Chains A and B, each alone.
Chain A
Amino acid sequence: MSRSLPDHILEVRDLKKYFPIKAGVMKKTTGHVKAVDDISFFLRAGETLGLVGESGCGKSTVGRCLMKLYDITGGSILFRGRDITAFNRRELIDFRKKIQMIFQDPYASLNPRMRIRNIIGEAIRVHGLAERGEWQDRVAALLHDVGLRTSHMARYPHEFSGGQRQRIGIARALAMNPTLIVADEPVSALDVSIQAQIINLLDRLKEKFDLSYLVIAHDLAVVEHISDRVVVMYLGHIMETATDRDLYTRPAHPYTRALLSAIPGTGKKNRQNRRIILKGDVPSPINPPSGCVFHTRCPDMFPACRQEKPPMVKISENHWVSCLKYTG
């Protein structure tokens, strides 16, 4: 992964994001919350990548770093081979047109004082994405694409259900004509019955608009249906990266196996039926455990895990794992 391949739309290298903790009279920095600590992954054009982990593992922070909502502490993020941290104002605007985000909470992500027409159409008008006078037609088309009616344009967000709101959020992102969409837990705030609808919608839109997705989720079941590859994160580190099929049929990392066993009642073959319950709590990202960060909760832990940081090991094509069981 040393050079950016032409089909890699996004490449994240050694990304670090630390949040300082300040204390004392002079508000000196006394420590860091290591939300994301040295992670690397990539996303091919047209691909859907799932980013999975328990809450607090840093997956949303990764998403926000990609969107340039946070300044990163270290490493680099390449979008189509160009470092996004080096963008000037103009380039940043162009970048933001190409990468859009869908937010977790459909209630908080829509400005309560704006009509749907303006929520979706504002970006079109501000950035001149449609001919003058035609922006409303564009909004209507987008509403149609996400399965809402044109008559909804004049309404306010509070008149919609959670699922409908999430559709509005998707339409708003699409208005920028993006090539990559970062979806931060797009369905976790919705009823289970609605979740599948939104996932299917995302899948359909991907074909239609030629999109790539980074889907962030806390549970493997959500990303299972739409991801081509999945990245599993724990406490700011990547545990395992694999294609969808490999991950669900041949999970290598003990943590992945634990997550998989938590998906209730599925008939998939090769999936272990025995539920693996992890002991203890997620350690604090201020003082992450030494060696492998997962060793405090790992069912397969052996002494070396306490000292040695496991490297990323390739165990088959597109399947990488960070666990000492697989080194040498």
Chain B
Amino acid sequence: MNPMISDTMPMQPAEQHGRPSTLFRICRKMWHLKMGVMGGIILAVMLVFAVAAPLIAPHDPYEQNIIQRLLPPSFMENGSDRHLLGTDGVGRDTLSRIIYGTRVSLIVGLSAVCIQVGIGVILGLMAGYFGGRTDSVISFMVNVMMGFPFILFAISLVAVIGPSLQNIIFALGVTGWPVFTRVTRVETIKLKESEFVLCAITLAFSTKRILLVHILPNLLPAILVLGTVEVARAIIRESLLSFLGLGIQPPTPSWGMMLAEGRDYMLGEWWLAAFPGFAIFLSALGINLLGDALRDLVDPHMRKD
């Protein structure tokens, strides 16, 4: 064999590991964007469902009808055209309950993340900027929260303070902040040494001003991206609490609780568990896709690979 060829052969696959072609990158970017748009559409639909539920839902989500109970979805045998996704154990319309359930999911997801961001970002800024003892104390708190299994913390908290919409938001809020503290802290430490922050000090600006006007705006993209993903997580966690019976109390429609009720019927009426779970999955997926696209748009360096 020609030594020239044998020398160059192994290099060829190596090309593949180098940068992908520009065309490929554009395609990939487009794909990402497309996924992001899809995520945005899912979130938009959720928002519309939540706001305009009474207009969209075909039935009253609380109206029981024992005669029409456990109807299968309309595409199945014996399904009724009046109930697209069938009815539950007391004859309530599943589709209407799912549409109304968007409210709980969105309210809990968004409010819980607001609390998480509030606590997490303030603590992260303080730990990163002041360093020293402040940092030690806050980092210790983060370690404690991370060592406390979320699920046990949240369910025992709810068990103690009682299951209600506000308490669930509170429980998810006070258990979920450490991620934000971690990210904010690391970024603040980096920014603290940057020349424009040093400059703000020499311009005799107050610490509050430096933190809020000079450092915080530079963290917002990272917080936004993380916040999006955390909304999805909070929605899943809310439904988990409801699933365990420690969440939203009946009869308010919540996806997690519908899933828990559906579980009792899973041997026969599988759709009762399938549809609400799919709603949770789809909304979390949509929000995650949006977050992924945002990450790409906001900062190319933050890409996961």
User: Which residues in A have some Cβ–Cβ distance to B below 8 Å?
Assistant: 64, 67, 69, 92-93, 96-97, 99-101, 103-105, 108-114, 122-123, 126-127, 169, 172, 176
Rounded to whole Å, the gap between the CB of B18 and the closest CB of chain A is: 28
Known: A111-B218, A113-B217. A104 touches B195 (CB 8 A): yes
Q: Are A111 and B196 in contact (CB under 8 A)?
A: yes
Interface hub of B200, B204, B205 (most chain A Cβ within 10 A) = B204
User: Which residues in B have some Cβ–Cβ distance to A below 8 Å?
Assistant: 194-196, 198-205, 209, 213-214, 217-218
Q: Are B195 and A105 in contact (CB under 8 A)?
A: yes
Known: A93-B204, A176-B203. A126 touches B209 (CB 8 A): yes
Known: A112-B218, A113-B217, A126-B209. A103 touches B203 (CB 8 A): no
Alpha-carbon distance between A99 and B203 when the two chains are bound, in angstroms: 9
Rounded to whole Å, the gap between the CB of A154 and the closest CB of chain B is: 17
Alpha-carbon distance between A92 and B202 when the two chains are bound, in angstroms: 10
Q: Are B195 and A96 in contact (CB under 8 A)?
A: no
Closest to B216 in A: A113
Residues of chain A lying within 8 A (CB to CB) of residue B204: 92-93, 96-97, 123, 127, 176
16 intermolecular pairs with C-beta atoms under 8 Å apart: A67-B201, A69-B201, A93-B204, A96-B204, A97-B204, A101-B202, A103-B198, A105-B195, A108-B196, A111-B196, A111-B200, A113-B218, A123-B203, A126-B203, A172-B199, A172-B203
Q: Contact check: which of B194, B205, B214 meets A108 at CB < 8 Å?
A: B194
Residues of chain B lying within 8 A (CB to CB) of residue A108: 194-196
Rounded to whole Å, the gap between the CB of A25 and the closest CB of chain B is: 14
Residues of chain B lying within 8 A (CB to CB) of residue A92: 204
Residues of chain A lying within 8 A (CB to CB) of residue B199: 101, 103, 109, 169, 172
Determine the main DSSP class of B at the interface with A. Answer: helix
Rounded to whole Å, the gap between the CB of A159 and the closest CB of chain B is: 16
Alpha-carbon distance between A96 and B214 when the two chains are bound, in angstroms: 18
Closest to B213 in A: A122
Q: Which 4 pairs across A and B sit closest by C-beta, in order of nearness? A: A109-B195, A96-B204, A103-B195, A108-B195
Closest to A111 in B: B196
Rounded to whole Å, the gap between the CB of A127 and the closest CB of chain B is: 7
Rounded to whole Å, the gap between the CB of B38 and the closest CB of chain A is: 29
Rounded to whole Å, the gap between the CB of A203 and the closest CB of chain B is: 22
Residues of chain A lying within 8 A (CB to CB) of residue B198: 64, 67, 69, 101, 103
Rounded to whole Å, the gap between the CB of B134 and the closest CB of chain A is: 16
Q: Are A111 and B214 in contact (CB under 8 A)?
A: yes
Known: A109-B195, A109-B196. A126 touches B205 (CB 8 A): yes
Alpha-carbon distance between A113 and B200 when the two chains are bound, in angstroms: 14
Rounded to whole Å, the gap between the CB of B85 and the closest CB of chain A is: 47
Residues of chain B lying within 8 A (CB to CB) of residue A101: 198-199, 202
Residues of chain B lying within 8 A (CB to CB) of residue A105: 195
Residues of chain B lying within 8 A (CB to CB) of residue A103: 195, 198-199
Rounded to whole Å, the gap between the CB of A171 and the closest CB of chain B is: 12
Residues of chain B lying within 8 A (CB to CB) of residue A127: 204
Residues of chain A lying within 8 A (CB to CB) of residue B209: 126
Closest to A113 in B: B217
